[in-house]
Structure 1
């Protein structure tokens, strides 16, 4: 009997080392691979407007972790493809995808109120066919989301819960975009606010969804990217649109947070104490 607590502690310590090693390898490869892909993109001739090769850094991280811990990675990636029906609330997937255009609409509306005019780039004025951009953006977004939402989110969820893991993944996701830190501090702050808020939306929106997780996350990501391409000017380094975008993401995340089980339990507990 006396040996069991010691064995349990050893097992817990082993599990702690395992998930930290898995997360560490994934993040190291995702960061390094993104840098390498970004460096070679000019030589490929692929326009960044179509797709940025850095987006495939997380996918490289998933492949590497999968080679080292195949059984664990298979468990984490379960549900990323079409399969059995989900047990989540009806319409959750639609609400998740609709949140993306809501973010863009809030951003554009706020910008129009501040500047007195809205910005729009017609799809036909782009240097590349819009249909090609849409497909390539979806592929690139899935290259990111298979790492952030399909591997790292489930890995951290068991340690920090859905909301905590979503926020933590959002911070790492934002820092992974290291190029934003070359811009003004307010620009970087707005971007980090956006990544954390969108990660919360995605993490909570995919909670208990058991199929098509990759396409849903990639679809949300693609809609946001296309909206920014057509209606925003953040790529120029302008601070105002990025700050407004971050604020719009935060507003869009609030309903998801209020509906999360953790917040509902906290509200019920506080209500019981008052009673």
Structure 2
């Protein structure tokens, strides 16, 4: 584990999550092998079916490997990075506004018409929903993918290669869930899974850029990730009720690929990572001012 902490992290994240998701996959909410259905909360089985595996995977694996390889000092440093809220307020504004804006533009383009005005109760639920997503999805996943794996891989291989590794693994990690109602089973095929993984890869370039430009602020990275989930959970259906589920996912794919290409060209592949003396490592703190 000391010699290969990143390999251990990814291995544990997959094993722990996939093992915890096995009952969900085999239940009536999935393949139907077991005559058992997970309880529904808020119209979804995500709380009891998906979140246990999400929490047992990335965050537990990151904490375990950090504790074994770096001890209490490493865990204290991890806590400091996880609570790095002091970032220029404009970064929070950009993340909060750009995510729904990009998805609305992409959905409008694919639907050949602008969005409908959602009811006031839906707008009122946007921020509470975002906070809930931060505690669930954001806290479960990003302490592993972006806080643990990304900086270590980036330090050794540079931002572009690190993203090419983390992005596909992040997407593939979700594969068992496509055998459940979370992934649309049984109305799901290989093309749906492929598009999801490609979207995860493209969006990872955006995540890497925000991570680097914000000086490694995990709350901001989590906010970016959760902004996507919250948009689809709260706003999407009311703003674009005429779009199919596939068209909605295509809007995310379109916006993620477009943003990734723009950032790759604009940063010449650096993705916000400052110049380094060697292989592209993140050798110095990143300036968190908007520029």
TM-score, normalisation: structure 2 = 0.65
1:174 Cα deviation after fit: 0.9
1:120 Cα deviation after fit: 7.4
User: Is the CA contact 2:58–2:144 (under 8 Å) kept in the aligned structure 1?
Assistant: yes
- Aligned-residue Cα RMSD (Å) equals 4.0
User: Is the CA contact 1:55–1:143 (under 8 Å) kept in the aligned structure 2?
Assistant: yes
User: Is the CA contact 2:130–2:230 (under 8 Å) kept in the aligned structure 1?
Assistant: yes
CA distance in 1, matches of 2:59, 2:24: 12
The gaps in structure 2 that reach 5 residues or longer are 30-36, 180-184, 272-291
Who wins on radius of gyration, i.e. which is larger? 1
Instruction: Choose between structure 1 and 2: higher helix proportion.
Output: 1
User: Is the CA contact 1:142–1:217 (under 8 Å) kept in the aligned structure 2?
Assistant: no
Residues 46, 31 of structure 1: CA spacing in aligned structure 2 closer, same or farther, 3 A cutoff? same
TM-score, normalisation: structure 1 = 0.69
Question: Which segment drifts farther, 180-189 or 28-37?
Answer: 28-37
Residues 160, 193 of structure 1: CA spacing in aligned structure 2 closer, same or farther, 3 A cutoff? same
1:216 Cα deviation after fit: 0.6
Q: How does 1:19-168 map to 2 (within 5 A)?
A: 19-33=6-20, 46-47=41-42, 48=44, 52-53=50-51, 54-56=53-55, 57-71=57-71, 78-82=80-84, 94-113=93-112, 116=113, 118=115, 122=119, 124=121, 133-140=129-136, 141-168=138-165
User: Is the CA contact 1:142–1:214 (under 8 Å) kept in the aligned structure 2?
Assistant: no
Whether 1:207 and 2:212 are equivalent positions in the alignment is: yes
CA distance in 2, matches of 1:154, 1:36: 33
User: Is the CA contact 1:190–1:246 (under 8 Å) kept in the aligned structure 2?
Assistant: yes
Aligned to 1:4: none
